[in-house]
Amino acid sequence: MLLLFVLFSGAVMAAFVKLGIPPGVAYTLFLLALFGSFINIPIAEERTYEPVLTIKEVRFMGIPYPVPSFDWAEKRVVVAVNVGGALVPSGIALYELLRMLYLGQFALLFNTLFAVLIAALFSHAVARPVPGLGIAMPMFFPPLLAVLLGWAFGGSNPNAVAYVSGTLGVLIGADLMNWNRIKHLGAPMVSIGGAGTFDGVFLAGIIAVLLV
């Protein structure tokens, strides 16, 4: 477990450094993502009404008879955002976009936003709601798509395009664009980025940067 932790942390650090983040800040972001994976911030509550089958017992002359009946029950689903799996990678992606704007790299900024749009559409197409769990999609699809987008639209900075499209594309396409399906999943809470540092939103950007 210690060896796996060292290898994983080294891979994350290498990806952050390739994005132009200083090593000290990169290590801080990794720790924030790691420990933030245990923190979910509720942002909304969805309600739905579903039919429920109940069995009532009716006695006639001392003999019990089961009588089925239908009723409507209110179910609540709390939608939360995971700090380590969603907020940290989204913050890094936003930093990359703002740096492009600050440096006057408007062509690269446009290409990055276009890549995010493509990644969001493809992520939405392959994402599937899993009752009792959340929104799921093939694990290696987002990073491989981000790599292709980085090569196609990255120009002089394919790492940034791959990371931003890999993180924001999954977040928008798989999670936000499936918001109306969340309340029908049957889970008491659905956390965006809920797997923390092992969530698709986080891993998509990291793997994409390492492969570019």
**Average pLDDT, whole number, for the chain?**
80
What distance in Å separates the CA atoms of residue 102 and residue 160, rounded to the nearest whole number?
A: 15
Residue 7 domain-assigned (yes or no)? yes
What tens digit of pLDDT does each residue of 13-46 get? 777 777 878 877 877 887 887 788 888 888 888 7
State the pLDDT at residue 15: 78
Asked, for residue 59, whether it belongs to a domain, the answer is: no
Kindly state whether residue 52 falls inside one of the protein's structural domains: no
In a domain, 124, yes or no: yes
Q: What is the pTM of this model?
A: 0.78
Would residue 178 count as lying in a domain?
yes
Which structural domain, as residue segments, surrounds residue 206? 2-46+75-211
9 DSSP 8-state letter: H
Does residue 19 form part of some domain? Answer: yes
Per-residue pLDDT band at 115 (split at 50, 70, 90): very high
Residue 183 has pLDDT above 80, yes or no: no
In order, the DSSP letters of 62-116 are TEEEEEEEEEEEEEEEEEEEEIIIIIHHHHHHHHHHHHHHHTT-HHHHHHHHHHH
In a domain, 191, yes or no: yes
Residue 81: pLDDT over 60: yes
> How far, in Å, CA of 202 to CA of 95, rounded?
15
Domain count, the chain: 1
pLDDT over 70 at 200, yes or no: no
Highest mean pLDDT among 60-74, 175-189, 192-206: 175-189
- Mean per-residue pLDDT, 110-128: 91
25 or 101, which is more confident: 101
Q: What is the percent of the chain where pLDDT is above 70?
A: 82
Tell me if 127 is assigned to some domain.
yes
